[in-house]
Amino acid sequence: MFNRITLVLFCAAVLGAALAWVLSAPKMLSDQAIAQFPAGDAASGELVFWAGGCASCHAKPKAQGDEKLKLAGGAEFDTPFGVFVAPNISPDDQAGLGKWSLRDFANAMTHGVRPDGAHYYPAFPYPSYNKMTAKDVADLWAFLTTLPNIAESAPAHRVGFPFNIRRTLGLWKLLFLREEMVVEVPATNAVLQRGRYLVEALGHCAACHTPRNILGGPKFDAWLAGGPSPEGKSKIPNITPHHDGIGGWTETDIAYSLESGFTPEFDTFGSTMADVQENMARLPATDREAIAAYLKIIPSVASSP
């Protein structure tokens, strides 16, 4: 009897491991999907670059002016799962993305998969970028290839067991990676459609402003309600229309704050939000107005503890 039970348990363990291996396999774009990507336009890609906040993570900390276009990486993000380090994404052949193709880049942005087929950690906000249009992905890639080559390699992540087993991220994606937008807006309202796209996809605002569960997955029922910083050093504010958040702000207040860095209370943005605001200030006024319109119609949620 004991041997039979042992055999059953062993077989169940093997089958479970095999199922987990299959379910955690990286998913990538098909040849047909890649063929539908348009030729990238670098000029349009520059706007995508700033809207996506690429320099905020991949330029050296405290870089200013043109130095923000030198994407050597190196910024560290200390989280409960380990210390993640932004990589070099300059066009350098050795330290950066110089040997990548559009296919490699598109798979990274939309599926969180490296060229070698391994999963990226979601510290890289592909859970938002996966909603980008093929045109924006191609345009961003075209722009990145025009930037300075930086031969300096960024340090590796410092992630311990079991989080250093990248294959398990495939199961994380099954639980938390969603392709559809979170907030429904009228298909006929171009302003809200654009605002949602900027917030939920390009701007990846939820990466900071939506609280996380114990597995690091976003709590979609507390969308943009703020919460503890993943780095444990501060509290991320609620940006829903709740009175805990920005319910007292008008659309004009929100748009002006993103342009100027000043809140309606005549305070200024600090920490990483200051970098975000600098990026938003580079966008057309209509984009900031679209973001403001979207933030005023999302569900009002009390601040996360």
Model pLDDT for residues 151-193, shown as the tens digit of each residue: 999 989 999 888 888 999 999 999 999 999 999 999 999 999 9
Domain span including residue 111 = 38-179
pLDDT in tens, 73-115: 988 888 888 999 999 999 999 999 999 999 999 999 999 999 9
Q: Does residue 23 lie within any of the structural domains? A: no
d(CA 129, CA 136): 10
User: Domains in the chain: how many in total?
Assistant: 2
What tens digit of pLDDT does each residue of 193-207 get? 999 999 999 999 999
Tell me, yes or no, whether 162 and 193 share the same domain.
no
DSSP E strands in 178-244: the ranges are: 227-228, 235-236
Residue 267 lies in a domain: yes
Write down which residue in 134, 150, 179 finishes a domain. 179
Note whether residue 49 is domain-resident: yes
Domain boundary among 122, 157, 179: 179
> Mean pLDDT for the chain?
89
Domain match, 147 and 42 both = yes
Shared-domain flag, residues 174 and 191: no
Same domain, 90 and 167: yes
Q: Tell me, yes or no, whether 1 lies in a domain.
A: no
Contact of 130 with 136, CB cutoff 8 Å = no
53 and 170 both lie in a single domain: yes
**Within a domain: 7:** no
Instruction: Give the pLDDT confidence score for residue 20 in this predicted structure.
Output: 55
> Which is more confidently placed, 297 or 264?
297
Q: Give the pLDDT confidence of 214-238 residue by residue, as tens digits.
A: 989 999 999 999 987 765 567 889 9
Query: Considering the entire predicted model, what is its pTM?
Result: 0.91
d(CA 179, CA 71): 28
Are 148 and 52 within one domain? Answer: yes
Flag whether 30 is in a domain. Answer: no
What is the per-residue pLDDT for 265? 83
Q: In this structure, is residue 10 part of a structural domain?
A: no
Q: In this structure, are 132 and 161 located in the same domain?
A: yes
Using the structure block, give the residue that is written with the tokens 């975000």. 276
C-alpha to C-alpha distances, 243 to 94, 227, 239, 268, 281, nearest whole angstrom: 50, 15, 10, 19, 26
